[in-house]
Structure 1
């Protein structure tokens, strides 16, 4: 997985002074921790449709069955058509990205729980999605999209990072030339990671991959990409991780002493109970993998789905 990962981002999260008040919402994790691994491509939809900074604040309002983007002080100043036109034109141009981080609560960029007001400006309900982000997710349904607020949650943060690295590897495979062998090898590398995210979806995607010969390779790629990213969007659970760890433990049973087997089983159980982070049993299993190599386990992305320097498994 060479090269930086192309990631779209709401420009204000990079510290760019593009917000309605002339300020920004710099996101430290993005700018400080993740930046070495990603190629950040900033977009401010509101500036892109010609609005200045500072500018009147915008809001979403409910008008019948439609959602409109207007200024907060005057509903007659309406930017809905401009934003929808920009979003519809821009979103298809972003298909090469491996993820997008948007600004929470924004009427253009928010991913969820954006306030939607009545035409009179009252009765706000947090049920909306920013117009640009709504179009982005509709046009590119496989693309990992998260917002800065949600990425403060360790589980959601790790889940997003797993997805962007997985999609980057899949996109690189596509760019290098599709083949049945390459796609099957990719899926094989991700089996244990997929199992940690959703056992029901893992059981569904397996037969689909096994039937790879039943459709043209490019059509298979697009369908597989969507299924894979929808599966990975389901955050891994402690119970699923425990099942995967116990499965991996079985590979080393014949090599370990009774004392070592007991210590490993107890460490996995302490992770299950929440008294140890995932990193603890993973580290011990990687130690045993180095000592007792196994071709199948050695290729599994489960052990290293992203750079260890991001330190994401300390909190999960």
Structure 2
């Protein structure tokens, strides 16, 4: 039996990223927006594809600032200096990189950027009045249209422990599925992949788990390409659903039910107490998960021991230690 850390984290994800977040001095003022989480922690476990759309289209460093402006009902990216419209050029950068990005497992965008901002950008009228606060950068808009299943997040939102954990979890799951489907896979391989991800899927979307299961079950009787496309769409749709403390507690109880016949009363009591401490926000998720992993290994509880839910990414990232997760 392969250890859970091999099945869950052996694949190294490829992440697209706004270049300034890795420390490149490409911002409008000649500075950068280095993220220590990306460069000092995540960097050890992923490969990067850095992109700065504004620099790629030749705007220079430093450069005049850009802003979103509503013209004729559409949001355009214009220069604050002369009103030049750079929208189409910025969007085309996503098309230029699309072949590489089809192999990416996620993308991290600079927030508040008229080119890369994903959420809640201010939009102005040609006269300079703010007309909306729901804009999206031109590159970010094109990226998400080209690759709708790609996990994408803004750097600013990654300061939230729950959002950070969710995004990284999706990235590593995306990488594992990509590695499987890029291999010479057989129907049994997809079924085994689905079985290992059962608890992870259930912790986000029980219905998504059932939908993906139905697709995996027909892998031996349907066109492999159609099965792969359908499974990919449903798998990523399920994991995109935000989990909750209640869903996690239910999933932990599910693992406990599998292990319970193998444990004595004292260990059962300890596990139930740890799950309840998590449910009532006394302990972080890492506490009951660590106990479950320990007992799965000690009792050689094969099927449970291989569940990606118990180690969805490298432990060193410490993403389940916060009470907010």
Any gaps of 5 or more consecutive residues in structure 1? none
The corresponding residue for 1:5 is 13
Greater alpha carbon shift after TM alignment, 146-155 vs 262-271: 262-271
Secondary structure (helix, strand or coil) at the match of 1:281 reads: helix
Shift of 1:293: 1.4
Partner of 2:133: helix, strand, or coil?
A: strand
Deviation at 1:221, TM superposition (A): 0.9
Q: Distance in 1 between matches of 2:46 and 2:319?
A: 16
| TM-score, normalization by structure 2 | 0.92
Which of 17, 31, 47 is residue 25 of structure 2 equivalent to?
17
2: CA distance, partners of 1:182 / 1:254: 29
2:159 aligned partner: 152
RMSD over aligned Cα, in angstroms?
1.5
TM-score where L is the length of structure 1? 0.95
- Aligned residue among 52, 64, 73 for 1:56: 64
Q: 2:231 maps to what in 1?
A: 224
Aligned residue number for residue 6 of structure 2: none
Name 1:72's counterpart in structure 2. 80
> SS of the residue aligned with 1:61?
strand
> Given that residues 190 and 219 in structure 2 are in contact (C-alpha distance below 8 angstroms), is that contact kept between their aligned partners in structure 1?
no
- Of 125, 132, 135, the residue aligned with 2:139 is 132
Measured after TM superposition, the shift of residue 202 of structure 1 is 2.3
- Extract unaligned runs of 5+ from structure 2: 1-8
Distance, in Å, in 2 between the alignment partners of 1:311 and 1:152 is: 14
Aligned residue number for residue 191 of structure 1: 198
| Higher normalized contact order (CA 8 Å, seq sep 6+, divided by chain length) | 2
1:180-203 superposed Cα distances (whole Å, 9 cap, x missing partner): 111111111100001111223223
CA 1:64–1:275 in structure 2 vs 1: closer, same or farther (change >3 Å)?
Answer: same
Q: Pairwise mapping of residues 120-269 of structure 1 onto structure 2 (< 5 A)?
A: 120-213=127-220, 215-269=222-276
Contact 2:12 2:175 in 1 (8 A): no
Candidates 294, 298, 309, aligned match of 2:305: 298
Equivalent in the alignment of 1:42:
50
State the secondary structure of the residue aligned to 1:107: coil
Query: Which 10-residue stretch deviates more, 205-214 or 223-232?
Result: 205-214
* 1:59-107: CA deviation from partner (whole Å, max 9, x where unpaired): 11111221111012433x1112322333333334410111111100111
> Quick check: 1:87–1:131 contact (8 Å CA) kept in 2?
no
Residues 125/40 of structure 1: CA separation in 2 closer, same or farther (3 Å cut): same
Distance in 2 of aligned mates of 1:133 and 1:59: 14
Instruction: Give yes or no for contact 1:197–1:236 (8 Å, CA) kept in 2.
Output: yes
Distance 2:222 2:96 in 1: 30
Deviation at 1:171, TM superposition (A): 1.4
Asked if 1 retains the 8 angstrom alpha-carbon contact of 2:91 and 2:141, the reply is: no
Counterparts of 1:34 and 1:313, CA distance in 2: 15
Shift of 1:161: 0.8
Query: How far is 1:5 from its partner?
Result: 2.0
Q: How does 1:255-294 map to 2 (within 5 A)?
A: 255-294=262-301
Q: Take 2:262 and 2:21, find their aligned partners in 1: how far apart are those partners?
A: 50
Cα distance, 1:124 vs structure 2 = 4.4
Number of residue pairs aligned between Structure 1 and Structure 2:
315
The answer on whether the counterparts of 2:296 and 2:302 sit within 8 Å (CA) in structure 1 is: no
Aligned structure 1 segments of 4 or more residues deviating by more than 3 angstroms: 1-4
Q: What does 1:82-101 correspond to in 2, within 5 Å?
A: 82-101=89-108
